[in-house]
Amino acid sequence: MPGHNSKPDFLDMDGDGDKQEPMRDAAKEPAAQEFKDKKMREVMAAKKR
pLDDT tens per residue, range 5-30? 777 777 777 777 788 878 777 777 77
Our count of domains for the chain comes to 1
Q: Which residues contact 26 (CB under 8 A, 6 or more apart)?
A: 9, 12, 13, 14, 16, 18, 32
Q: What are phi and psi of 8, to 5 degrees?
A: -70, 160
Q: What is the pLDDT of residue 45?
A: 92
**Which residue from 28, 35, 31 is spatially nearest to 11, judged by alpha carbons?**
35
The single-letter DSSP state of residue 6 is S
Range of the domain at 30: 1-49
Q: What is the pLDDT of residue 37?
A: 86
Q: How much is the pTM?
A: 0.43
